[in-house]
Chains A and B, each alone.
Chain A
């Protein structure tokens, strides 16, 4: 699975720095990212774990081309993509489905923007909707779906784009605990079928361990990579993995790192 060991990674961030101008006049610039380096191999599932306000969203906006890094390189398949939009698939925190489109038309959006014809995209969309447990919901409108089902549609939409890397920004943060676990297992199995690489930002240790091949832990602002952890279990995983001693140990290890990360004084 992990392509990082052999050959070029799919996504490589190299020493990314980013700061924003201070809020008031004369305020010092706020350093958000301070030399972040990480890789995602093709087909790999990587999680980024960090305390709230550690610049995870800024990181995604950089990868997505909405922001330019102050220094450092962002490479996708070896090519510098800093400032280029549309190179990654994206699943935002909020489902962000368009209320005037039904589920089918919504999940076709990413393909539509990428210029894939409807004739080509629609059969795939219908097929993935069924696999995602949304069969029969094709002509429903988003407000008729539960939060969990809206997020399923949002992920299918990301999958139907042509991009090899999908960036998921705390996709299950707004869901209740039971739904979240169910959605995490669902995401794990769908990701395996899709063959795509995923970069998941989360603040849930369990979510990272349950889904990812590797986990990066970011420090508080200004963020650096504090730790990189390999998660040993093969996919698909289940709740049973969460009870294993090694899972508990890893969870404790990540928890300790995160706690220290939070204690880093704001500079």
Chain B
């Protein structure tokens, strides 16, 4: 069903938009004659990326590594919290306000504290910051979806004698999966951003660290290279989750068409 042409049909508008934007940027920089340390052109950024590839790659690996660990921890905590809140009403009413508070603790305030507790070069503070970003969309999406199970179907299942465990396994959980994946997609994109923010705060490697280091040396082009890598990483993370979603809940595709 999905042929190359249909992929191209869906893919060309965003591709064209990005290419046009880059083109406008290139022409704008060349016509205005703005200094390179203020705003480099896309061509400059491309050349710099090739020239400093080994260093960039080293930092990319570090960021990706810490992002994946943070993402995994965040998702595990997020799913665990959602399940606990779903099973026990008191946990839900008790924890929900705390969850919202957790999203208002800025990592710029929390990071230094974590560094004091765990050490400047320890990965733990970074993992905590990333997990803090990642768990929230997962918990909210899963909790709400579990609470919003179709009542008619739940009634049917209870009527024919389904136990609480059967109700959860056969109805509530599969029903919540599409929503869970929405949360996972948000968390996947946040994980890269969270990692970069965490690397701003301390440590000696990663794209966040590299951005700060390059900025301090007025290597603006390198800052841009790092920004592009971050965008690509976020897309890859998003894409992997979207692919998993397609494999696991293909039934949801084509519904409502």
Determine how close the nearest CB of chain A comes to the CB of B69; give it in whole angstroms: 31
Cβ 8 A contact of A92, one of B156, B170, B171, B177: B156
Q: Which B-chain residue is minimally distant from A85 (CB atoms)?
A: B161
Cβ 8 A contact of B161, one of A98, A100, A114, A143: A114
The interface residues of chain B lying within 8 Å CB-to-CB of A99 are 251-252, 255
> Chain B: interface secondary structure?
helix
In this complex, how many residues of chain B approach chain A with their Cβ under 8 Å: the count is 22
Chain A 107-127 against B: per-residue CB contact (8 Å), 1 yes, 0 no? 001101110000000000000
Determine how close the nearest CB of chain B comes to the CB of A22; give it in whole angstroms: 22
* A149 to B105 CA separation, bound complex (whole angstroms): 53
B159 engages A98 (CB within 8 Å)? no
Determine how close the nearest CB of chain B comes to the CB of A68; give it in whole angstroms: 14
A:26-81 near B, CB below 8 Å? 60-61, 64-66
In this complex, how many residues of chain A approach chain B with their Cβ under 8 Å: the count is 27
The interface residues of chain A lying within 8 Å CB-to-CB of B152 are 92-94, 96
* With known contacts A92-B155, A98-B174, A87–B161 Cβ distance under 8 A: yes
A113 engages B251 (CB within 8 Å)? no
In the complex, whether A9 has a CB less than 8 A from a CB of chain B is no
In the complex, whether B162 has a CB less than 8 A from a CB of chain A is yes
In the complex, whether B244 has a CB less than 8 A from a CB of chain A is no
Q: Which A-chain residue is minimally distant from B171 (CB atoms)?
A: A98
* A60 to B157 CA separation, bound complex (whole angstroms): 14
In the complex, whether A86 has a CB less than 8 A from a CB of chain B is yes
In the complex, whether A90 has a CB less than 8 A from a CB of chain B is yes
In the complex, whether A171 has a CB less than 8 A from a CB of chain B is no
B:88-137 near A, CB below 8 Å? none
Q: Which A-chain residue is minimally distant from B254 (CB atoms)?
A: A143
The interface residues of chain B lying within 8 Å CB-to-CB of A60 are 159
Determine how close the nearest CB of chain B comes to the CB of A261; give it in whole angstroms: 26
The interface residues of chain A lying within 8 Å CB-to-CB of B155 are 66, 92
In the complex, whether A161 has a CB less than 8 A from a CB of chain B is yes
Q: Which B-chain residue is minimally distant from A92 (CB atoms)?
A: B156
B:138-169 near A, CB below 8 Å? 150, 152-153, 155-162, 166
* A113 to B153 CA separation, bound complex (whole angstroms): 14
In the complex, whether B249 has a CB less than 8 A from a CB of chain A is yes
* A85 to B252 CA separation, bound complex (whole angstroms): 31
* A110 to B153 CA separation, bound complex (whole angstroms): 12
Cβ 8 A contact of B252, one of A66, A100, A110: A100
In the complex, whether B33 has a CB less than 8 A from a CB of chain A is no
Cβ 8 A contact of B159, one of A90, A94, A114, A141: A90
A113 engages B156 (CB within 8 Å)? no
In the complex, whether A222 has a CB less than 8 A from a CB of chain B is no
B157 engages A113 (CB within 8 Å)? yes
B162 engages A90 (CB within 8 Å)? no
B249 engages A85 (CB within 8 Å)? no
Determine how close the nearest CB of chain A comes to the CB of B95; give it in whole angstroms: 29
The interface residues of chain A lying within 8 Å CB-to-CB of B159 are 60-61, 64-66, 85, 88, 90, 92
* A94 to B155 CA separation, bound complex (whole angstroms): 11
* A89 to B156 CA separation, bound complex (whole angstroms): 10
Cβ 8 A contact of A86, one of B160, B255, B256: B160
B255 engages A113 (CB within 8 Å)? no
* With known contacts A98-B171, A100-B249, A109-B170, A66–B255 Cβ distance under 8 A: no
| Across the A-B interface, the 6 shortest Cβ-Cβ residue pairs | A86-B161, A64-B159, A100-B251, A96-B156, A90-B159, A85-B161
**28 pairs from A and B in contact (CB 8 Å cutoff):** A65-B161, A66-B158, A66-B159, A85-B159, A86-B161, A87-B161, A88-B159, A89-B160, A92-B155, A92-B156, A93-B152, A98-B153, A98-B170, A98-B171, A99-B251, A100-B174, A100-B249, A100-B251, A101-B251, A109-B160, A110-B160, A113-B162, A113-B170, A114-B161, A141-B255, A143-B254, A143-B255, A161-B160
Given contacts A60-B159, A113-B166, 17 further A-B contacts (CB under 8 A): A65-B161, A66-B155, A85-B161, A87-B161, A88-B159, A92-B152, A92-B155, A96-B152, A98-B153, A98-B170, A99-B255, A100-B177, A100-B252, A114-B160, A143-B254, A143-B255, A161-B160
Residues of A within 8 A of B (CB): 60-61, 64-66, 85-90, 92-94, 96, 98-101, 109-110, 112-114, 141, 143, 161
